[in-house]
């Protein structure tokens, strides 16, 4: 097995198991405040169970129509990544190969495909970092057992939803990179849209509540209802137009970015602000996201040249993107959690 894959499984598997085991053992011992981490553990187990069942049934094999992220060849623009298992969707590709005439293929996100149930093992197993990140966020909530003005500093609808969403970003991406099937791509895209949409709705409501009003049920509903609407729209459109995923990334991510700009302008310019976040934590989060998205671009076969992708197939660039993105989810949560009353 590839050394990178072993490292990802061991490191992030242990990182996920620690809060999961602690939450289970702590609950058995009667320790309070562990229900978010325990619920997150059950959620992670369910999602990973779906992944392993999919792998066991070979993702539907060759009978499932719709392949996402086909191999790019000079004479075959979308060769089936299942070619080694099922034969090629392009007649000119020989059995066991990906491109005719000895041409080198260009693989999705610059990671060569493997035969069998996991097509991109590095990208697949690095997604365990999201499961670990989400479980640690939910574990952290055990230290805040009383209601607070900041919903991220208490175990409530918004904080638990954020932790569950973070966990959810891992297994759906695993479905895509392991199967390279179109339906797997839908889950992968939706996991990103869900996270970005939640952040956008949360910051809009944080801006409205910065002056001290609407910090109770109004804020919870003000986040969850628009968030649910955005997710429903994105899911419906992407089900019929999978190529629109990039557009939804820009829409949901752009809405979050604009909301952040408005929030910080308001904090800087409005003397009546009663609550605000810590700017340097936000800065660390933004810096991490910039590096993360730069790596996503550099190892994106739709952006860089074929020669660039082929020269870097041995480096787990997209896997590194996953790992940094999981850190970004934690930094985003930390940034939200720094909001507190301003000392006048």
Residue 92 is predicted with a pLDDT of 56
The secondary structure of the chain, three-state, reads: CCHHHHHHHHHHHHHHHHHHHHHHHHHHCCCCCCHHHHHHHHHHHHHHHHHHHHHHCHHHHHHCCCECCCEECCCCCCECCCHHHHCCCCCCCCCCCCCHHHCCCECHHHCCCCCCCCCCHHHHHHCHHHHHHHHHHHHHHHHCCCCCCCHHHCCCHHHHHHHHHHHHCHHHHHHHHHHCEHHHHHHHHHHHHHHHHHHHHHHHHHHHHHHCCCCCHHHHHHHHHHHHHHHHHHHHHHHHCHHHHHHHHHHHHHHHHHHHHHHHHHHHHCCCCCEECCHHHHHHHHHHHHHHHHHHHHCCCCCCCHHHHHHCCCCCHHHHHHHHHHHHHHHHHHHHHCCEECCC
Residue 75 is predicted with a pLDDT of 59
User: Residue 123 domain-assigned?
Assistant: yes
User: Residue 97 domain-assigned?
Assistant: no
Question: What are 311-337's pLDDT values in tens digits?
Answer: 998 899 999 999 999 999 999 999 999
User: Residue 209 domain-assigned?
Assistant: yes
CB 169 within 8 A of CB 191: yes
Residue 144 is predicted with a pLDDT of 84
Across residues 268-283, what is the average pLDDT?
91
User: Residue 77 domain-assigned?
Assistant: no
User: Residue 13 domain-assigned?
Assistant: yes
| Total structural domains within the chain | 1
User: Residue 267 domain-assigned?
Assistant: yes
231/240 Cα distance (integer angstroms): 15
User: Residue 32 domain-assigned?
Assistant: yes
User: Residue 89 domain-assigned?
Assistant: no
Residue 127 is predicted with a pLDDT of 98
Across residues 254-280, what is the average pLDDT?
92
Report whether pLDDT(241) > 70: yes
Residue 251 is predicted with a pLDDT of 95
Residue 148 is predicted with a pLDDT of 80
Report whether pLDDT(133) > 60: yes
The residue range of the domain holding 162 is 3-71+106-341
Across residues 248-262, what is the average pLDDT?
96
Report whether pLDDT(123) > 70: yes
Which of 241 and 125 is assigned the larger pLDDT? 125
Q: What percentage of the chain exceeds 70 in pLDDT?
A: 90
Question: What are 172-227's pLDDT values in tens digits?
Answer: 999 999 998 888 999 999 999 999 999 999 999 999 988 777 778 889 999 999 99
Residue 67 is predicted with a pLDDT of 62
Q: Give the least confident one: 32-36, 121-125, 204-208, 212-216.
A: 212-216
Q: What percentage of the chain exceeds 90 in pLDDT?
A: 66
Chain mean pLDDT for the chain: 89
Q: How confident is the model at residue 98 (pLDDT cuts 50, 70, 90)?
A: low
Q: How confident is the model at residue 120 (pLDDT cuts 50, 70, 90)?
A: very high
Residue 306 is predicted with a pLDDT of 86
255/252 Cα distance (integer angstroms): 5
- What is the separation of C-alpha 38 from the centre of its chain, rounded to a whole number of angstroms? 21
Residue 281 is predicted with a pLDDT of 96
Across residues 6-16, what is the average pLDDT?
97
Question: What are 39-96's pLDDT values in tens digits?
Answer: 999 999 999 999 999 999 888 877 555 566 667 776 565 567 776 666 655 555 555 5
Question: What are 153-162's pLDDT values in tens digits?
Answer: 999 999 999 9
Residue 149 is predicted with a pLDDT of 86
């Amino acid at each position: 097995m590839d050394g990178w894959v072993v490292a990802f499984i061991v490191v992030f598997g242990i990182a996920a198991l620690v809060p999961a085991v602690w939450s289970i053992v702590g609950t058995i011992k009667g320790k309070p405040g562990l229900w978010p981490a325990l619920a997150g553990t059950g959620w992670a187990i369910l999602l990973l169970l779906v992944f392993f069942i999919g792998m066991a049934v070979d993702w539907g094999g060759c009978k499932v129509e719709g392949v996402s992220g086909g191999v790019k060849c000079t004479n075959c623009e979308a060769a089936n990544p299942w070619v080694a298992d099922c034969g090629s969707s392009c007649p000119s590709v020989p059995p066991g190969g990906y491109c005719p005439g000895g041409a080198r293929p260009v693989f999705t996100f610059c990671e060569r495909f493997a035969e069998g149930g996991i097509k991109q093992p590095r990208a697949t197993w690095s997604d365990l970092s999201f499961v670990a990140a989400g479980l640690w966020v939910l574990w952290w909530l055990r230290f805040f057992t009383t209601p607070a003005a900041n919903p991220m500093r208490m175990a409530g609808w918004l904080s638990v939803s954020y932790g569950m969403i973070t966990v959810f970003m891992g297994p759906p991406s695993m479905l895509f990179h392991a199967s390279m099937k179109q339906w797997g791509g839908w889950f992968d895209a939706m996991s990103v849209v869900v996270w970005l949409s939640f952040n956008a709705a949360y910051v809009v409501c944080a801006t409205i509540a910065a002056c001290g009003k609407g910090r109770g049920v109004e804020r919870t509903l003000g986040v969850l209802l628009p968030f649910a609407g955005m997710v429903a729209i994105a899911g419906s459109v992407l089900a019929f137009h999978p190529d629109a995923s990039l557009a939804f990334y820009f829409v949901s991510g752009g809405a979050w970015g604009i909301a952040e700009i408005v929030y910080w302008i308001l904090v800087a310019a409005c003397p009546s602000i009663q609550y605000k976040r810590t700017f340097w934590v936000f800065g660390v989060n933004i810096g991490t996201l910039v590096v993360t998205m730069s790596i996503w671009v550099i190892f994106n076969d739709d952006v860089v040249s074929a020669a660039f992708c082929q020269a870097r197939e041995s480096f787990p660039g997209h896997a590194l993107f996953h790992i940094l993105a999981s850190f970004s989810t934690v930094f985003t949560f930390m940034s939200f959690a720094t909001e507190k009353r301003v000392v006048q």
